[in-house]
Structure 1
Amino acid sequence: MRFKLFFLAILSSMLLFACGKTDEVQTAEQIATEGHRVKVEEVLQATSYTYLRVTEGENEVWLAVTTMSVEPGATMYYKGGLEMNNFESRDLKRTFEKVLFVDQISAQPMGAGMGMAAPSPHSGTPVSDKLEIKIEPVAGGISIGDLSSQKTSYENKTVKVKGKVTKYNSGIMDRNWVHIQDGTADGKNFDLTITTNDEVKLGDVVIFEGKIILNKDFGMGYSYEILMEDAKLVKN
């Protein structure tokens, strides 16, 4: 009898453990389907982003999303994300110890097919069509058309390029994003994307010097066949 009771106790423990594992699997599947369910505690609006301090259970995190209207106390759902540490918002004059640039966010569960794309250097004012301009390369520099057609020759090399600013987004991923054209092209490639800490304005004719990086992929749609990275603005 004593052995039978011991056996039943062991069997009951095993069944309880199995049920617990099933619950864990269901929870994991639910998270995979719906993403994170969070409560908005604080909202900060900036030029390019809306920053949300959210809680999920006992966990707290800052999210950066494309500018949106949301009130503290709201329940939001998000999936994915790109984590940035010690991210400085110049608009807010604040450095976040950690901020998550989310892939999708919505007031509805992700399973409902709702969602908003995360902030991107391509958002905002669209890059214009090819401009009918003619800007000569700076002395010792190269045209955008030649850079594109001979890109492998310039990989990881520092070059100078002169062009007109056709698109500008500041403070994205802790850098400013600039698109320039000079009137030259290599097929459909007539635009050069530049990352910099310097500031410019739309319509400015500028000279940038920086390293050429090929096939740069930051994740979350930040992918570039040709990128001038960490460029410096050169004065005429």
Structure 2
Amino acid sequence: MRLKLIVFIATIAFAFIACSKEPDQKINKEQPAVKAAHEVTVKEVLNVTEYTYLRVMENDKEYWMACPKAEIKVGEVLTYNQAMEMKNFESKDLNKTFESIFFVDKLELKLGVGAMNQPMKPTITQESVQVEKASGGITIAQLFDNPSAYSNRTVTIKGKVVKINKGIMGKNWLHIQDGTKSGSNFDLTVTTQDNAGKDDVVTVTGKIVLNKDFGYGYSYKVMMEDAKVQGGKDPHKMMSM
């Protein structure tokens, strides 16, 4: 059965998702089952700090899934309706790269409803970064100090790539930091068709979009879309090689 990717819809009411840990989740086995699009049998369970990784079988197809940390056992039959596929997803906890993995925020036991309703939130921490402002550009602090002034405008920001996910919804997703901050906001999410690597110092130019929610906990007060990326490796990292 071919898995269907979730349709992502922009909203105008959500605040930026903070960088927080996911609480442990438990599956409620007492509620009646709800008919779902996909039914899988658990073949392997890998628990890490925030997530539970599952190798599952659906009909004659085997694949990997991930959900907020939960109590799931090998042999259990689970159902779900929607999933978001990530290509070449790297789990640092497992020291493993998944060629393809499907993230879900709600699973159900075949005889009970799963209570995994917490969104999948990216965990981003502030790094010790000091990047000079791009010529003619702005800093992350300036952007978050007055985001409405930059809404739907094209701006340029220079920063260090601290996290990257490639091939999600046909785009590469970068998190960049420049060492500045406004309140608790120190990280800018950028979507692009261009390539970049973790620890690259890059200059990104793209349109600023406010209050956008993609579901699954990916909600942003401020982000940059369809950016052009210029730049290379962190010079300090290159010197140490």
TM-score bucket of the superposed structures, by smaller chain: 0.5 to 0.7
Residues 212, 191 of structure 1: CA spacing in aligned structure 2 closer, same or farther, 3 A cutoff? Answer: same
Say whether 1:65 aligns with 2:65. Answer: yes
Deviation at 1:146, TM superposition (A): 0.3
* Residue number in structure 2 paired with 1:158: 154
Task: Name the SS for the 2:214 alignment partner.
Answer: strand
Normalising to structure 1: TM-score of the pair?
Answer: 0.58
| CA distance in 1 between partners of 2:138 and 2:151 (Å) | 13
Task: Please tell me whether residue 181 in structure 1 is matched to residue 148 in structure 2.
Answer: no
Q: Superposition pairs for residues 1-236 of structure 1, below 5 Å?
A: 30-32=32-34, 35=36, 38-39=39-40, 54-55=58-59, 65-66=65-66, 76-82=77-83, 89=87, 102-105=104-107, 109-111=111-113, 113=115, 115=116, 120=120, 122=122, 126-131=123-128, 133-235=129-231
Which structure shows the bigger proportion of residues in helix conformation? 1
Change (3 A) 1:112 1:182: closer
Instruction: Please tell me whether Structure 1 or Structure 2 has the larger radius of gyration of its CA atoms.
Output: 1
Deviation at residue 219 of structure 1 after TM alignment: 1.4
How many correspondences in the alignment? 181
Give the alignment's Cα RMSD to 1 decimal.
4.1
CA distance in 1, matches of 2:113, 2:197: 41
What 5-or-longer segments of structure 2 have no aligned partner?
A: 1-30, 42-52, 68-74, 90-97, 233-241
Q: Return the alpha-carbon distance in structure 2 between the equivalents of residues 140 and 183 of structure 1.
A: 18
Aligned to 1:219, the other structure's residue is in SS state coil
Measure, in 2, the Cα distance between the counterparts of 1:117 and 1:105: 11
Mapped to 1, the partners of 2:229 and 2:208 lie a distance apart of: 15
Retained in 1: the 8 A contact 2:66–2:103? Answer: no
Which AA in structure 1 matches 2:79? Y
The alpha-carbon distance between structure 1 residues 218 and 62, as it changes in their structure 2 partners (threshold 3 A), is farther
Structure 1 vs Structure 2: percent identity of aligned residues? 35
> What CA deviation, in whole Å up to 9, does each residue of 1:13-32 have, x standing for no partner?
xxxxxxxxxxxxxxxx9443
